[in-house]
Amino acid sequence: MHTEKVDAQDSTSVEVFRNGKLDETLSVSGHYDVKCFDVDGNLKWEDSFSNIVVNEGKADLLTKYFKGAAYTAAWYMGLVNNAGFTTYAPGDTLLSHGGWAESTAYAGSRPSVAFGTASATGGSSNPGVAGTGSLVTSSAVTFVMNASATILGAFLCTVSSGTSGVLYSAGSFTGGSRTVVAADSLLVTYTAQD
């Protein structure tokens, strides 16, 4: 007699991997957009450039948001003089920024900057997938030049004149310094983003 044996076995294995953290980050940055028009309104040049958000600006941003206090935003824009420029530094403040100087070759004090409502497009519903970032853009401010000058860039701060306020950011034109003459107008916007 012949006997056949079948040894049937079943085996199942399951592994589940889970990402145990959500990876959201906030990295503040921004850029300036500048257009220069002559006295007749003709576009002479334009530039768009990134900036450094200094330590003082980052600390002010976080303090105002997280500490919470009565706060009304007041922002002003200034121009960076090309003469004597060496560098921007994370430790720069409005009172102390040894690598650069402000240009005052324009009429009046630093123009006031108004911001709209930020878009909130950052983040993702999928952990580990980066979002597209959030941003807020200022209205254009105008500098009417009252002298010939060589301008290197722009900065954003919290006071219309003097050095008692907070410096938020500063940056230089991508193509190097630019010359302006009396009666030229610089239209500048700032976009803050994460």
Q: Parallel, antiparallel, or unpaired for β 185-193 and 135-137? A: antiparallel
How many angstroms from the chain centroid is the CA of residue 54?
10
Which domain, by its residues, includes 180?
30-65+92-124+131-193
> What local confidence, expressed as pLDDT, does residue 194 receive?
74
Tell me 67's DSSP state. I
Distance between CA atoms of residues 115 and 86, nearest Å: 30
Go through the chain and tell me how many residues it has. 194
Coil, helix or strand at residue 175: coil
Tokens describing residue 8: 């049937």
pTM (two decimals):
0.80
Tokens describing residue 3: 């006997």
> What local confidence, expressed as pLDDT, does residue 127 receive?
41
Report yes or no on 23 lying in a domain: no
Report yes or no on 81 lying in a domain: no
Report yes or no on 9 lying in a domain: no
Distance between CA atoms of residues 141 and 178, nearest Å: 18
> What local confidence, expressed as pLDDT, does residue 4 receive?
55
43-71 tens-digit pLDDT:
999 999 999 999 998 888 888 878 877 77
Report yes or no on 160 lying in a domain: yes
Report yes or no on 156 lying in a domain: yes
Report yes or no on 158 lying in a domain: yes
Number of domains in the chain: 1
Burial letters for 62-84: b for 16+ Cβ neighbours within 10 Å, e otherwise? eeeeeeeeeeeeebbbbbbbbee
110-169 tens-digit pLDDT:
999 999 888 866 544 444 434 456 788 999 999 999 999 999 999 999 999 999 999 999
